[in-house]
Amino acid sequence: MEPLNDESQKIVWITGASSGIGLALVKLYLKAGWQVIASARTQGELANLVEHESHLSFVEFDIVDKEKIAPVRDALSQLAPHLDCAILNAGTCEYLDLDGDKTDWQMMERVMSVNYFGLVNSVDVCLPLLKHASQPHLVGVSSQAVQAAFPRAEAYGASKAAIRYFLSSLRMDLKADGIDVSCILPGFVDTPLTRKNTFDMPFLMSSDEAAKRTYQALQHRPYEFAFPKRLSALLWLGRHLPKWWLGKLAPNKNDNL
Ligand SMILES: NC(=O)c1ccc[n+]([C@@H]2O[C@H](COP(=O)([O-])OP(=O)(O)OC[C@H]3O[C@@H](n4cnc5c(N)ncnc54)[C@H](OP(=O)(O)O)[C@@H]3O)[C@@H](O)[C@H]2O)c1
């Protein structure tokens, strides 16, 4: 992608763009005529697109690496004078296996540092560039997992709940700068992240469908957008009938996890 000088050209930065929901979002934004800057640690499934799409460029970014914040910001600003939208979508998932002395408590920190602090680092990267746009939009990807507790999701759920709170607070603090903030809460989406799950994933949808719903919702700049609604309803029950939810989801001693 050539550096941009056309003020009318909409530009989006998408993290976690090498697979799953992020990759599907890249394709949708390109189709809608946006200039797209995609980031991840590797190009992954993006490599072919980067080679052939003149409106797409790739900036490598490991979101946990604080040393990369300034260089990545520089790389973005060399490509684009401003960002109209930043979709902070990169994330990971690991589950807690309580196994006495062998329990990997470090995992809590690993997941929190990618999902939560990685998103904070990404905000640090893009905020100055968003401030140069006329109607900037900052978007973070949380999860419907925050709507009710799931077994073994101590790390993932807590990191996504932290994102949701962080964004809701940031929305207040960025209002005076005219930056809209949206939090996306997807349900189960078929991606490399969920393909390792061994439990039932109700209302599972494709990454293309998830990206389409996200893209459409973002046109209205919602504070939060949770989908699919059928899962939200189920999780509402889980939240309001916690004993029933616990009885339904909590594993028994003899369950083979
Ligand atoms: N799939 C679901 O059901 C679901 C549901 C709710 C929320 N979400 C959220 O949606 C987002 C996208 O997930 P997905 O399902 O599309 O998973 P995915 O296909 O595994 O994609 C995750 C993306 O994050 C990037 N990433 C991971 N660690 C990174 C790091 N340290 N630095 C930079 N990039 C990193 C990966 O790229 P590299 O490995 O190349 O860096 C990849 O592009 C995540 O935040 C996830 O929590 C997913």
> What is each CA distance from 215 to 91, 180, 220, in whole angstroms?
19, 15, 10
The reply to whether ligand 1 has any atom less than 6 angstroms from the CB of 178 is no
Judge whether residue 3 has pLDDT over 60: no
Cα(59) to ligand 1 centroid in Å equals 16
Residue 195 exposed, middle or buried by CB count within 10 Å (0-12, 13-18, 19+): exposed
**What CA–CA distance (Å, rounded) separates 217 from 25?**
13
Residue 2: pLDDT band (50, 70, 90) is low
The reply to whether ligand 1 has any atom less than 6 angstroms from the CB of 120 is no
pLDDT tens figures, 101-155: 999 999 999 999 999 999 999 999 999 999 999 999 999 999 999 999 999 999 9
Cα(174) to ligand 1 centroid in Å equals 26
Judge whether residue 241 has pLDDT over 90: yes
- Which residue bears the tokens 């401003």? 82
The reply to whether ligand 1 has any atom less than 6 angstroms from the CB of 25 is no
- Hey, which of 36, 185, 193 would you mutate to test ligand 1's pocket, going by the most ligand atoms within 8 Å of its Cβ? 193
Atom number in ligand 1 closest to CA 207: 16
Alpha helix (H) ranges present in the chain? 20-31, 47-52, 69-79, 106-111, 118-130, 154-174, 207-218, 229-240, 242-249
pLDDT tens figures, 104-114: 999 999 999 99
Q: Which two tokens stand for residue 160?
A: 């996504």
Cα(113) to ligand 1 centroid in Å equals 13
* Most distant CA pair in the chain, distance: 63
Q: Which two tokens stand for residue 56?
A: 């797409």
Cβ atoms of 225 and 217 within 8 Å: the answer is: yes
**What CA–CA distance (Å, rounded) separates 204 from 188?**
5
**What CA–CA distance (Å, rounded) separates 69 from 83?**
16
**What CA–CA distance (Å, rounded) separates 53 from 31?**
11
Percent of the chain with pLDDT over 90: 92
Cα(139) to ligand 1 centroid in Å equals 15
Domains of the chain: 11-94+103-249 (3.40.50.720)
Judge whether residue 36 has pLDDT over 60: yes
